[in-house]
Amino acid sequence: MKRPELLSRILIVAATLGAIGAPLFFWTRTPLIHAQMAEDGGWSPDVIQAEVGKPLHLRLTSDDVLHGFAVGQMQMDAVDIEPGKVTDIELTFDKPGIYTFFCTRWCGVNHWRMRGTIEVSGSDPEPVLSKADGAPLYVSLGLDIDATHDAPVIPETQPSAISGQQLAANLPISQYANPHFYRANSPYQLYENLNSTDLSDSEKWDVVSYIWESNTTPEALANGSQLYAQNCAACHGENGAGDGVFADDLAEAGESSMHNMTGAAEMAMQTPVDFTDSKRMLGASPALLQGKILRGGMGTGMPMWGSIFTEEQIWDLIAYLYSFQFIYQGATQ
């Protein structure tokens, strides 16, 4: 073979290897966590291993639309993941356990299905998800969170905590203004307890409103409002009316998935709950709402949040949900 021919072949082989081999080499050494809408696969990989105390460096990219990333039960700011770009993030875990990471952007109707887990190993005897307090309140109270809990009586106008405060000043009701009573009872149960007073119906509801507000703080309500806007409003609506941007899509998805079931009852399960529905909300205790949030909707579009929100966050969120029923003095709604 002549030298020019040999040289040309060497150049061609080198260029081919350079064009294919080099990128392949670097590609295999650049592990990325891909985010896709849930119907296209969600997170990939969706299980990540880590060790307590060792920084975990993650490189995240989106294969379709804007997604977000956050880890439940952890103090961290969510980061955005832009399509085709790479977002670097470093996490360090203090306790072993299984953490849930999730999408924080409303990427599609199945946004809430975009979850994965980080399995953190280590010698710490107290894993992250073990509750020092034992079972959640709704479990220790033995509540059936799927049972109907409508309030038999509802107020004609929206109760006002401001009016309630003035009325409460002359009533022996200090036993109600503590977390144990508040969390275990529904507003309607307190309303019934006030039957022994001379208050009118609307006055009793005003007092209930005041008691409910006195069991939270403006900071807790603000935190609940923020959590609601980020995580709940997509389905339940910004004003809590069950009319979020995905509500129609959920109803459509529910209809198509319920063709072999019994119809209306199951269909209703796919419709986001309306927090402005007084019967439903005034008949629900904070403990019952805790159960629903922790566990999720079981077969409906309502995800379980137990692995994501801390206990404190859940109570803050619940306090905010009642603000759709009551006019609070802070008026955060």
Partner 1 sequence: MSRIELTRFPIVKSAVKNRWPQLAVFIVMLAGYLFAILAGLIGTPVGSHNFSIVFVWIAWWAILILVAVPFFGRGWCAVCPIPLPGEWLQRGAVLNPPDKNPKWLNLRWPKALRNIWLQNISFLLLALFSSVLLTTPNVTGIVLAAMLFGAIGLSTVFERRAFCRYLCPVGGFIGLYSQAAPIELRIKDKQVCVTCDGKPCYNGSTNGYGCPWDVFPGGLTKNTYCGLCMECIRTCPHDNIAINLRPFSADLAKPSARMDEAFKAFVMLGSAMIYAGVLLGPWSALKDAAYKVGTGAWFIYAAAFLGIIFIIMPSLFAFCISRFENLKSFKKRFATLSTSLIPLGLMFWVAFSLSFVLTNATYILASLSDPLGLGWNLFGTAEAAWQPLLTSILAPGQTLALVGGLVWSVRTARKAASEARVSSIPVIAYCFTATLVMLWLLL
Q: Which residues bind partner 1 (CB under 8 A)?
A: 1-2, 4-5, 8-9, 11-12, 15-16, 18-20, 23-24, 26-27, 30, 32, 59, 61-64, 83-86, 88
Min. distance of Cβ 204 from partner 1 in angstroms? 54
Nearer to partner 1, 30 or 140 (CB): 30
Nearer of residues 64 and 150 to partner 1, judged by Cβ: 64
Q: 160 phi and psi, to 5 degrees?
A: -115, 125
Nearer to partner 1, 83 or 179 (CB): 83
CB of 34 to partner 1, least distance (A): 9
Give me the half-sphere count of Cα atoms (radius 13 Å) on the Cβ side of residue 93.
28
Q: How far is it between the farthest Cα atoms of the chain?
A: 112
CB of 33 to partner 1, least distance (A): 12
Alpha helices in the chain (DSSP H): 3-16, 22-28, 137-140, 161-168, 179-184, 187-193, 201-214, 218-231, 233-236, 247-257, 264-269, 278-282, 286-295, 311-322
- Rounded to a whole number of angstroms, the minimum distance from the CB of residue 86 to partner 1 is 3
3-state DSSP assignment of residue 235:
helix
Minimum distance of partner 1 from residue 23's CB (angstroms): 6
Q: Which residues contact 145 (CB under 8 A, 6 or more apart)?
A: 138, 288, 291, 292, 295
Nearer to partner 1, 9 or 54 (CB): 9
> Which residue, 29 or 131, is less far from partner 1 as judged by CB?
29
